Amino acid sequence: MAEYKGVIVYGELINGKLLSITTELLGGGRNLATALKEDLSCVLLADTVGETPKEAIAFGTDKVYIVEDPSLKEYQADTYIQVVEKLAKEISPRIILMGQTSIGRDLAPRLAFRLGTGLSTDCVDLSIDSETKLLLQTKPVYGGNAQAIFTCESMPQIATVRPKTMSPIERDNSRKGEVIPIKVEIDMSTIRTKVIEKVKEEVAGIKLEDAPTIVSGGRGIGGPEPFKTTLKELADVLHGAVGASRPPVDNGWIPEAMHVGLTGKIVAPDIYIAIAISGASQHIAGCSGSKTIIAINKDPEANIFKEANFGVVGRYEEVVPAFTKKLKELLAE
Amino acid sequence: MPGVNMIVCCKQVPDPEAPPVVFKVDPATNKMTLPPEVKPVIGQYDEFAMEAALRIKDKAGGKITILSLGNKLARDVVKKTLAVGGDELILLEDETFEEGDSWSTAHALAMAIKKTGEYDLIFCGRQSSDWDAGQVGLGIAEILGIPAVPLARRVEAVDGKVRVERVIPDGYEIVEVGFPALITVTSELGSLRYAALKGIMAAAKKQPIVWKPSDIGLEPSQVGAAGRRTKLAKLFQPVKEAKGEIIEGETPAEAGTNLAIRLREAKII
Ligand SMILES: Cc1cc2nc3c(=O)[nH]c(=O)nc-3n(C[C@H](O)[C@H](O)[C@H](O)COP(=O)(O)OP(=O)(O)OC[C@H]3O[C@@H](n4cnc5c(N)ncnc54)[C@H](O)[C@@H]3O)c2cc1C
Ligand SMILES: Nc1ncnc2c1ncn2[C@@H]1O[C@H](COP(=O)(O)O)[C@@H](O)[C@H]1O
């Protein structure tokens, strides 16, 4: 049997920079590697990786495996899985970490099934059991109404990690590490899906993940218009972004990019204002990391009031304009 | 074209939208306990998957076989898939199927799909509404060695191929793939249609086919809890402190104004 050793992070990059989920994974992975007294490494797949290997080292990795190939310019499941499967078999890590991102959600299950091992998705905490040395994988279940700790005795142990649940280590550009280029022959004949077109649904203004304040609307908003007027005005006053629960997205009132929750984006702004959102666990999963949650809902029994730091009971059509007006005055002082 | 041969995987789960307070973990058994008023339903994303298959059947014709794995499945719940227009319901039903993980579930479903014979498209939900794993669909595709397109919000079958609009972080992409293929479906596809009276009556008369592990060529040791790759070490509920402060006013508008004042006081803005 091969010996499984070390922790490996599947890194994601865009425009020559590591995504924040990757530095978070490196931070979390570092702790696991230290507990195991083994190495932390990172794999980077792209047409060109640019300066990202250096960045990965500065954020704590010991080794960076890079695979550069023109066919890796954009994520394509059938190409990427080949490379990742080959790397996993060659490196035989004890633990593989990926982000619970669009790519991680797609790649991790495929990889786990190919390798014949278990996987826990959407983990919010990872640690090493000091006795068994197994990875303890904590993940929310039942929409966030409980958490489960899983272990997996088959190797490698694979987990995807929810964004914003782990902290990167302080960047240190003087850290030393090894960069290992790997050549993988990509068999284009295994590519069975063809992307005909990519359509961007532009969202004007600040990106949801980066916004310090998010004003989210739910089904109770009633239609697309108030997202552009009432909610947008409030968001503008606070230099924030507009978001939503799932129903407004499903109803086509606003684009998917604004969807917050378990199956949408995970956000952790300073202020999260939930308007006409009932506060289902699956929605709260996406915003519970916010510093302050404010709820506006006409139903005093709505679950959102259990999650909120501040709440107002009332129809949003009446509450929000007055709230926005007063905020404007206060902020102008 | 003789129509599209489709399989939809639907899981019976406790209503995921039951109020959070009713979800209680029993630490002795490491299990979720729910009061009887929380009714079982078909997983939300599995309903969307069912709708995706029905839309293809509307246009191109064909057959829809529903697969559901579990134990003591409520007939009125799983039969909803027949009432809305499914053609055949196969239950993988046995106590040994209980408490599986994504691995053992995908394995059993894939073996059952093999046994059904020919298929063009398999539909799954993007994730189950209880364990929220999001693995079984892609797992089935890997086991069967067929391509998979996850997160479909629109699906159309044309000339032995399927065209999928799949959700990506800042928009969507249009992907084409030949039969057979597996597709996982997301909520933007749209809700499952209501059953017409005719469908409900037809479904009432139909009996599901029930398969045991041996019917799909598996030993009891390969399914359910025994066949797991991941072990559940602990199920728990982190304690939440109630922290809410309700801001009042003579009118809702005044409460809105007071909220702004309170936030300034608390130095939040
Ligand atoms: C596996 C799974 C994953 C899911 N993922 C997500 C996810 O990622 N994100 C997500 O959001 N949901 C998700 N859901 C769905 C979730 O369970 C809820 O259905 C959804 O969050 C409800 O959205 P809502 O609060 O906007 O709507 P509702 O629950 O219908 O609530 C509407 C609220 O608006 C209030 N209201 C109505 N009119 C007014 C008014 N005029 N003024 C003030 N208040 C008003 C009502 O009192 C009510 O509280 C998921 C579900 C499942 C099963
Ligand atoms: N027990 C089951 N019976 C039928 N289908 C299932 C079962 N478990 C999972 N699935 C299918 O696989 C999808 C993803 O499940 P999961 O990986 O558990 O999140 C679900 O949306 C269903 O379509």
The full 3-state SS of B226-268, as one line of letters, equals HHCCEEEEEEECCCCCCCCEECCCCCHHHHHHHHHHHHHHCCC
The range of the structural domain enclosing residue A93 comes to: 7-190
Instruction: Check if B161 contacts A (Cβ < 8 Å).
Output: no
Residues A251 and A180 in one domain: no
Please say if the pLDDT value at position B185 is more than 70. Answer: yes
> For chain B, what is the mean pLDDT?
96
In angstroms, what separates the C-alpha of B44 from chain A's closest C-alpha? Answer: 12
Q: Which of A133, A159, A190 is the last residue of a domain?
A: A190
In a domain, A25, yes or no: yes
Residues A162 and A234 in one domain: no
The CATH architecture that domain B4-227 belongs to is 3-Layer(aba) Sandwich (3.40)
Within-domain flag for A2:
no
Three-state DSSP state, B38 = coil
**pLDDT at residue B5 above 70?**
yes
Rounded to whole angstroms, the maximal C-alpha distance in chain A is 70
Q: Give the CATH number, domain containing residue A277.
A: 3.40.50.1220
Nearest in space to A304 (alpha carbons), one of B264, B250, B242, B25: B242
Q: Clarify whether residues A32 and A161 are in a common domain.
A: yes
Domain end (from A190, A221, A240): A190
Judge contact between B57 and B7, C-beta under 8 A.
Answer: no
Domain final residue pick, A137, A164, A190: A190
Distance (Å) of CA B241 to CA A141, A271, A306: 20, 19, 9
Whole-angstrom Cα distance, residue B260 to residue B269? 8
Residue A1, pLDDT > 60, answer no
Ligand 1 atom having least distance to the Cα of B132:
1
In chain A, how many domains are there? 2
User: A275-310 pLDDT, tens per residue?
Assistant: 999 999 999 999 999 999 999 999 999 999 999 999
Q: Which residues contact B28 (CB under 8 A, 6 or more apart)?
A: none
Q: Which of B103, B129, B236 sits opposite A147 (nearest CB)?
A: B236
CA–centroid distance, B155 to ligand 1, in Å, is 25
Together in a domain, A127 and A213: no
Residue limits of CATH 3.40.50.620 in chain B = 4-227
A201 lies in some domain: no
Kindly state the percentage of chain A with pLDDT values over 70. Answer: 99
Per-residue confidence band for B187, with pLDDT thresholds at 50, 70 and 90: very high
Distance CA A219, CA A305 (A): 16
Mean residue pLDDT of chain A comes to: 96
**What pLDDT digit, counting tens, does each position of B86-96 carry?**
999 999 999 99
How far is Cα B150 from Cα B249, in angstroms, rounded to an integer?
48
In a domain, A196, yes or no: no
Same domain, A186 and A324: no
Q: How far is A250 from chain B (nearest CA, A)?
A: 4
Q: Which chain B residue lies closest to A209 (C-alpha atoms)? A: B169
Does residue A203 belong to any structural domain of this protein?
no
Do residues A29 and A111 both lie within one domain? Answer: yes
Q: What is the mean pLDDT of residues B78-92?
A: 98
> Each residue of B38-76: pLDDT tens digit?
999 999 999 999 999 999 999 999 999 999 999 999 999
pLDDT in tens, A148-201: 999 999 999 999 999 999 999 999 999 999 999 999 999 989 899 999 999 988
* End-to-end CA gap in chain B: 63
Please tell me which residue, B262 or A188, carries the higher pLDDT value: B262
The verdict on A168 and A40 lying in the same domain is yes
- Under DSSP, the state recorded for B194 is P
Same domain, A175 and A213: no
Q: Are residues A221 and A101 in the same domain?
A: no
**Residue A2 pLDDT level (bands cut at 50, 70, 90):** low
A140 and A262 in a single domain? The answer is no
pTM metric for this prediction: 0.97
Q: Which helix (H) or strand (E) covers residue B174, if one does?
A: strand B171-178
- Residue B65 Cβ < 6 Å to ligand 1: no
Q: In this structure, is residue A101 part of a structural domain?
A: yes
Minimum-distance CB partner of B32 among A105, A112, A142 = A142
In a domain, A40, yes or no: yes
**Cis amide bond preceding A53, omega within 30:** no
Same domain? For A67 and A116 the reply is yes
A94 Cβ partners below 8 Å, 6+ apart? A4, A5, A6, A7, A36, A38, A135, A155, A156, A157
Measured between CA atoms, how close is B169 to chain A, in angstroms?
6
- Is the previous residue joined to A156 through a cis bond, with omega within 30 degrees of 0? yes
Tokens of A306: 């259990």
- CATH number for the domain harbouring residue A60: 3.40.50.620
Give CA–CA dist A184/A244, Å, rounded: 42
Q: Which residues line ligand 2 (CB under 6 A)?
A: B 9-11, 43, 45-46, 49, 67-70, 102, 105, 109, 124-125, 127-128, 131, 133-137
Q: Distance between CA atoms of B150 and B142, rounded to whole angstroms?
A: 13
- The partner residues of B230 in beta bridges, in order of sequence, read A152
- Which residue's CA is the closest to the ligand 1 atom numbered 48? A278
Which positions ≥6 away from B245 have C-beta within 8 Å?
A: A309, A310, A311, B262
Q: Domain check: are A31 and A80 in the same one?
A: yes
